[in-house]
Chains A and B, each alone.
Chain A
Amino acid sequence: MIEGAKWRRWIFFYIPLCAFIFTLLFPFYWMLVTAVRPDSELYRPWSAPNYAPFWTSHPTLDHITYLLQETLFSTWMLNTLLISIAATLISLFCGLLAGYALSRLKFRFAGMLGTAIFITYLVPQTLLFIPLADIIRNFRLGDTPWALILTYPTFLIPFCTWLLMGYFKAIPRELEECARIDGAARWQAMLYIIFPIAVPGILSAGIFAFTLSWNEFIYALVFLSSPAEKTVSVGVTSELIRGDVFYWGSLMAGALLGSIPVAFVYSFFVEYYVAGLTGAVKG
């Protein structure tokens, strides 16, 4: 703790911390206010004398109603949910198996493969999106959820593998050997002894993967074209802006509602998410 007078505590601790919290959270408050603000107030220039930016005296649900009834917003939500869950499950499955193999089994090229997976973990989506779009077209996956369900694992698997390798390494080998002496086959020891112990790691990886999929943008933007197939981020971007006209109220309502599933999952599993985040960095 900070020693000394009370004012020092305020200057060096409370004020900076509050400033950080305020700046980091203000845009979300702004989203909320904008989403319930009537258009007449929304489009009042900031220089107007009766501009009251921080609250609204006539909250309205018009923007949310418009979003849900006049646009395909609920379809986009369902698409995103489906794609994120499917991509997460595929990645967890692959990551679990690969993580186990790379951390527990002795075979040639194990070290090399581990490094290769780590490198793919660092490949940003923007490096490959153009040739990948071509490949998706050739596989006839364009404009279907499969385009994303199959490509999202490319950045999720390396992450899941990396994170789970850390968990597997921490589990004592003796546990597995005991099971094998009791007659379990190698794969049974893996499935029934090691995987259940790694559940916290699996949860962390799963939650992190889910939020990453929900957040993905460029693949969804390039691989999908018909409005009914889009994900939330892309749908909101392309359908709520017509030419130069921004439907700000609905846009903010969409941003708010589109964030809820991630925020919801996150709020229940903060500790696992943080473990995933820090595990992802430290390996």
Chain B
Amino acid sequence: MAVSDVTTTSDTYTGSVRRWPVTRLLEDERWLALVLLVPTMVLLGLFIAYPFVKGVELSVTDAKVGVPGNFVGMQNFVGLLNDSIFRVAVWNTIVYTAVTTVFKLALGLWLALLLNRNFKGKALTRAFILLPFIIPTVLSTFAWKWMFDPTFSVINWTLFRLGIISSRINWLGDPSLALISVIIVNVWRGVPFYAISLLAGLQTINPELQDAAAIDGARPWQRFWYVTWPLLLPVTMVVVLFSVIQTFADFQLVYVLTGGGPANATQLFATYAYQIGVGTGLLSQGAAISLAMFPVLLVVVIVQLLYIRRVETL
């Protein structure tokens, strides 16, 4: 009621100004909010909510490209459980996400701590360091693919010259190495994001706390562990959860480097969904594979929402 009171007062104030009926309507917060939200709701409804419903619908049919398909119940999902490639893809995705996240966090934090000091050329360094993150992934991944080429690899040349290896390493062609190679590229691309986000978090920490701890006799390692780290934890949590979602659903990097091969050694949820849904045109099975990611993503999102709420209420 207080709201409408304010509206009437301001209307009497501006009684001399002529107003269109629409403007009058928009003085009401609820109508204005509705009008302002319509474009967003239409776009997100059409291209997120509707595809989601459609995806669920597709996954319980046997639709192929151009064939509508019949209802088959949970058959696609049951089929996935018995699909050995799918199981490999699930395992690969878990390993890929877990390993890259640990390395990205450790290296990103290290880089952030280095950048948090004062030195000449700091702004320029920070700008250059973000390059792997802003350059389109597909394009920079091609540079890695070329660097990993078994015959022309500059990495092999360097390792050979340093005397570390004696024969060539087939980075992407060897099933036991391919996932490691893919992980290296993902870490390379992700470290700048972690570093810059964590750096922003570090800069909000009052340096006097460090000084106080130092005066009390805390060693550098103790100052980090008991002062900096607890204060940085909220930012770290959010960065990690974001990155976990992106990595779990990753596609482009693996698509360019290996296409999921050799022998499915680097197959992830998304690449397998692409291979089945687009490559072979089995829409329903592809949609089912994509949707199988959903429970995991949902858990991460819920953790994130709860965590943000908790931080906000603190």
The interface of chain A, by Cβ under 8 A from chain B, is 1-2, 13, 16-17, 20-21, 23-25, 27-28, 30-31, 34, 42-47, 51, 53-54, 90, 93-95, 97-98, 100-102, 105-108, 110, 113, 115, 117-120, 122-135, 150-151, 153-154, 157-158, 161, 180-181, 183, 185-187, 211, 214-215, 217-218, 221-222, 232-234, 236-237, 248, 251-252, 254-256, 258-259, 262-263, 266-267, 270, 273-274, 277-278, 281-283
Contacts and interface: CB of A to CB of B under 8 A. Distances in A.
Contacts of A270: 123, 126-127, 130
A247 to B, nearest CB: 11
A262 to B, nearest CB: 6
B91 interface: no
Contacts of B57: 131
B154 A53 contact: yes
Q: Is the interface of A mostly helix, strand, loop or mixed?
A: helix
A71 B29 CA distance: 54
A107 B197 contact: no
A186 B255 CA distance: 50
Nearest to B57: A131
B17 A262 contact: no
B146 A248 contact: yes
Contacts of B251: 125-126, 217-218
Given A43-B152, A153-B43, A233-B138, A126 B14 contact: no
B32 A105 contact: yes
Contacts of B147: 27, 30
A214 B137 CA distance: 10
A50 to B, nearest CB: 12
Given A27-B132, A31-B140, A127-B249, 19 more contacts: A16-B114, A17-B111, A28-B140, A28-B143, A46-B153, A93-B39, A117-B44, A123-B48, A123-B297, A126-B290, A130-B283, A130-B290, A187-B26, A187-B32, A218-B251, A234-B138, A270-B130, A278-B200, A281-B200
A185 B27 contact: yes
Contact of B301 (A20, A24, A122, A211): A122
A128 B26 CA distance: 36
The 6 closest A-B pairs by CB, nearest first: A124-B249, A126-B270, A131-B55, A255-B139, A278-B200, A131-B54
B293 A126 contact: yes
Contact of A46 (B132, B156, B249, B269): B156
Contact of A128 (B52, B135, B152): B52
A214 B19 CA distance: 43
Interface stretch (B79-87, B97-105, B224-232, B272-280): B272-280
Interface string B41-73: 001101110111011011000000000000000
A214 B47 contact: no
B310 interface: no
A282 B58 contact: no
Contacts of A23: 188
Nearest to B270: A126
13 contacts: A24-B192, A30-B146, A94-B39, A120-B44, A126-B274, A127-B52, A128-B55, A151-B47, A186-B29, A218-B251, A248-B152, A252-B143, A263-B134
Contacts of A47: 157, 160, 168
A218 B242 CA distance: 19
Contacts of B125: 17, 21
A219 to B, nearest CB: 10
A195 B84 CA distance: 54
A70 B136 CA distance: 23
B259 to A, nearest CB: 11
A185 B24 CA distance: 8
Contacts of A232: 136, 139
A131 B47 contact: no
B167 to A, nearest CB: 9
B26 A186 contact: yes
Contact of B273 (A126, A132, A237): A126
B140 A131 contact: no
A181 B13 contact: yes
Contacts of B283: 130, 134
A126 B47 contact: no
Contact of B27 (A123, A186, A283): A186
Interface string B257-269: 0000000000001
Contacts of B75: none
B74 interface: no
A141 to B, nearest CB: 10
B291 interface: yes
Contacts of A274: 126, 130, 196, 200
Contact of B48 (A45, A120, A266, A278): A120
Contacts of A2: 117
A176 B249 CA distance: 42
